[in-house]
Structure 1
Amino acid sequence: MASAGAVIAESTTGVYGIRPSDSAPSNSSISSFNSQVCWQPTMAQQSQESSPAAEPFILKLPHPYLTAYSVTNAAAHGQPKTYHIHLSAAHANGNGIPPPTPLHHDGLSFGDIAFLAADSIPPKGDNSSWARARRSPYVTVSWIEDRPSIPQLWLVAYALVSLHPFAESLRVLFSGNDASSLISELYSTGLFHPHPQGSNASVAHDGHMLLRGTFWQGAASPFGARPVWVPNLDASNKPITSEYPPYPFQVAPSTQFPALPRHTMHPARRPKPAPGSVIYSRWIPHLQEHFTMIALDHTNDEHLRLFNVWQNDPRVAAGWNETGTVEQHREYLHRLHEDPHVLTMFAGFDGVLFAYFEVYWAMEDHMGAHYLASPYDRGRHSLVGDTRFRGPYRVSAWWSGLMHYMFLDEPRTWNLVGEPAVTSSTVLAYDFAHGFHVEKLMDLPHKRSALMMVNREKFFTLSPFVWDGEKKVRPSLDALAKL
C-alpha cells in the first residue's frame, strides 16, 4: 500500500449496499437533538433546564447483545423531570442475545441536570479541582427498595453520558437504601470518583464525580474484563467467557530479512481476533444505528470480492495503489493475515459494510523508523469504499470509533499515529477534529506526509463521540498543516 491516509473523497459513486435514502439529519432535528440531550458550557445554559424530549431517548447495547432501552420522563406536566430506563421491545431488532445480568432496575430513576445558583459558583479565577467539580452540572440518582447493582448504575451512567455528551464531568448525588456501600464499590471500578476537597474544610463537597473519559475507557463495564465496545467473540460471534489476566509483556524480535533489511525488537502481541468476528460495536444515537467493525476473513469470498471491488475503484486506487485481480488480492490479504503486526477489518452501519481499515503496531511498521515509537503505539490506514456513507454526521461516528477501538483493545497503548499526505486537507481536518496534532513532517519516497499523533489522555478528555451538527469539518490552525 502506497498511502497511509484515509480515502474519503466526496464522489457520488457507490460500490456496495446502502439504504435507499441516506442523508444527514435535518437542521431542525439536529437542533432538537442538541437542545434535548447536549450540554454546552455556557452561562445561558447553566441557568436553564434542558427541554423535554419529544419522544423517548433510545439507547442500545453493543454487539452481541443489542438490547434496546428507552429513557422516558415519568413526571407529570409541570413537575420536576424523573427519568426511568426501561427495556424497549419496540426498538429491539431481535438479533442480539440477552445480557448475562439484568441492567435495568424498575425502581431506579434520575432527574434532570442542574447547576448551582450563581452566588454558590466558585469565582472564575479558581480553577482548582474542587471549583471545577462545583461548576459541573449535577444530577440526583434515586432508588426505592433494593439497592441497584454496579451494572445497573453503569446503564444509568451510559444514559447520562449519552444524554449530555458535551459534559466533561457530572456531579452525581445518590439517594436510596445502602448508598454508602454502593459508593465504595463504585469507587473501586473507576466509574465514579470522590468529590475533590477544597482548600477550606468547611466548603461543600457533596456528590460523586462521573467522568466522561473514564466511562468511555470502559470503567465498570458489566460483561467481563474487556470494555463493552470491544467484545471478545468467537468466529460465530458468541462471547468467549473464559477470562485471563492481561496479556503479559515479553520482548519478541521480528525480522523481515532478506525480503527487507528490517529488524525490530518489540513486545509480543496478543493473537488476533477470530476472522469474521465483531471486534468493535457502538450505538450512535444521532444516527439511530450501530457502528460495527469486524475482523476481515481472507477466506470469505464475499469479503474478498468487496475488497477487490473497492481497490479497483479509481478513486481508491489513487491513494492505495493496490489495484489487482481477485487472486492478487487474496494473496495480499493472506499475507496481512499472517503478519502479526497488522489487523485488517471491515466497518459497517447496521450491517452494511462501507469501509476497510488496517490497524498496525508502529514499532514493527515502517512508521517506527520515523519517530521514537513507544512499545504499544498504533496506527491505521483507512478507505471508504462506499462514498454514500460520507459527511461529518457519519465520519464523526466511524473516525472516533476506529480510534476508540485502538485505545481500548490494548490498554497500554498511549499514542495513535498516522501519516496522511500534507495535501490531504480533508483527512487532516478530521484528524484535528479528533485530537490529532502534527508532530512533524516526513519526506517518504512517494510523498511528503504529516506525522499525526494523539495520546490517550487527550482523546478521552475530548471524547469526540458525537456529531456537533456542523455540515463541514473545520480546518486546523496548526502552521505545519499549511506547509
Structure 2
Amino acid sequence: MPPADAPADPGACPASRAGAGTEDTLDLQLTDELLALLAEEAPVPHGGAQETPAPSCGPQDSVLLDRPAEWKPVTTPAGVFLLVPVRPERDLALISRWMNDPAVAAFWELAGAEAVTARHLMPQLDGDGRSVPCLGVLAGVPMSYWEIYRADLDPLARHCRVRPHDTGIHLLIGDVGRRGRGIGTTLLRAVSDLVLDNRPRCTRVVAEPDIRNTPSVSAFLSAGFRYSAEVRLPDKRAALMIRDRAHRDQL
C-alpha cells in the first residue's frame, strides 16, 4: 500500500524471516498436503461426532472465511462501508483501471490490459474460497479493492509464523481523491474489525506492506496493528503487521 491510504501490496508468496517478538506465534511450515487437509476441516458438534463439511463454493460463499458476502455494512467516520465480493462481469473494468494507476501499479504490478487483472482474479474466483477479492464500497461508491484471505492456508504460512485461522488483508484505494486523508487507516480498522467480528476462530489479522513504504506501515500502526517482523519475500522486503484480537480495544 503506497501512500498511507492508497494502494496495498500484492502479498505475493513470501520467503522470509520472522524476527524477535513473535514468540507468541506458532511456526507452521505447511506442505501442499497439509494445506489441502486444513482446507477440508469441519467443525465438531457438541456431541463429539464430526459433521459432514459444508461445501466451499468460492468467494461468493466462502466457508473457509465465514462467508464475507454475508458480512453486514459498518458505520465508519468516513461513512457506511461494505465489502462486496467481486463479480468480473461487473467489476473487472473498474479494478483494471485502478491497477493501471502508476501509484497502484508500482506495488501490485498488474498494469496492462484487463486480461492482466483477470488472470490475477480468476484463481481466487475459481478457487476454494481461501481468498476472497472484494470491492470496498464507501457511502454507496466503490472506491477500493480488498483481498481477504486465510493466511494459514496461503503460501505465506510456509515462511512466516502463523496461527490457525490467521486472516490476511491486501488493500488498494482506487479513488485518487480519497488518498492522503486518513481513509486508509479508517478502513483498515473497519475491515480488521469486520474480520474479528465475523470470524470467531480468528485471533489475529495480518498484513505485509512493503517495508520501504513508511506511510503504509504508519497507516497500519494507526489502525491498531503492531509491527511484528521484517519478512523477505521474492519481490520485496515486507513489514509483517498484526492486529491481535486480545488487544483490539486497547489499540
TM-score range, shorter chain: 0.7 to 0.9
SS of match in other structure, 1:363: helix
| Residue equivalent to 2:117 | 329
Number of positions where the alignment pairs a residue of Structure 1 with one of Structure 2: 207
CA gap of 1:426–1:279, structure 2 versus 1, over 3 A, is same
Match of 1:80 in 2: none
Selected match of 2:177 from 361, 369, 388 = 388
Which residue of 79, 82, 87 maps to 1:292? 82
Determine if contact 2:4/2:184 at 8 Å carries over to the other structure: no
- Whole-angstrom CA distance in 1 between matches of 2:111 and 2:40: 32
Find the counterpart in structure 1 of residue 102 from structure 2: 314
Given the alignment, which residue of 205, 209, 221 partners 1:420? Answer: 209
2:231 equivalent to 1:442: yes
1:266-415 superposed matches below 5 A? 266-268=38-40, 271=57, 272-273=59-60, 279-284=71-76, 286-287=77-78, 289-300=79-90, 303-339=91-127, 340-415=129-204
SS in 2 for 1:372: coil
Task: Return the letter of the residue paired with 2:60.
Answer: P
Is 2:167–2:206's contact at 8 Å kept on the other side of the alignment? Answer: yes
Change (3 A) 1:422 1:290: same
- Percent identity between matched residues is 23
Find the residue that maps to 1:381 and give its secondary structure: strand
Give the Cα–Cα distance (whole angstroms) in 1 for the partners of residues 130 and 31 of structure 2: 10
The SS at the match of 1:266 is helix
TM-score, reference length from structure 2: 0.72
Deviation at 1:309, TM superposition (A): 0.4
Query: Aligned letter for 1:456?
Result: R
Q: How far does residue 411 in structure 1 lie from its aligned partner after superposition?
A: 0.6
Contact in 2 for aligned 1:8/1:384 (Cα 8 Å) = no
**By how many angstroms is 1:386 displaced?**
1.0
Please say which structure displays the higher CA radius of gyration. Answer: 1
Q: Is the 8 A contact 1:278 1:294 kept in 2?
A: no
Alpha-carbon distance, 1:422 to partner? 1.4
Greater RCO (CA < 8 Å, at least 6 residues apart): 2
- Any unmatched runs of 5+ in structure 1? 1-5, 12-252, 257-261, 463-483
Counterpart contact for 1:9–1:315, Cα < 8 Å: no
Q: CA deviation at 1:392?
A: 4.5
Counterpart secondary structure, 2:192: helix
Q: For residues 274 and 351 of structure 1, do their structure 2 counterparts lie closer, same or farther at Cα, with a shift above 3 Å needed?
A: farther
Runs (4 or more) in structure 1 with deviation over 6 Å come to: none
Report if aligned partners of 2:151, 2:166 keep a CA contact under 8 Å in 1.
yes
> 1:264 Cα deviation (Å)?
5.3
TM-fit CA distance, 1:440: 1.6
Return the alpha-carbon distance in structure 2 between the equivalents of residues 351 and 282 of structure 1: 12
Q: Which runs of 5+ in 2 are unaligned?
A: 7-29, 42-55, 63-67
Q: Assess, with a 3 A threshold, how the Cα gap between structure 1 residues 410 and 390 changes in structure 2: closer, same or farther.
A: same
Shift of 1:428: 0.9
Distance in 2 (CA, whole Å) between partners of 1:268 and 1:396 is 34
Query: 1:279 is matched by which residue type in structure 2?
Result: W
Aligned equivalents of 1:454, 1:10: Cα separation in 2: 17
CA distance in 1, matches of 2:187, 2:61: 21
RMSD: 2.8
SS at match of 2:177: coil
Alpha-carbon displacement from aligned partner over 1:234-279 (angstroms, at most 9, x marks no partner): xxxxxxxxxxxxxxxxxxx9849xxxxx955425476543599563
Q: Deviations over 1:175-200 (max 9, x none)?
A: xxxxxxxxxxxxxxxxxxxxxxxxxx
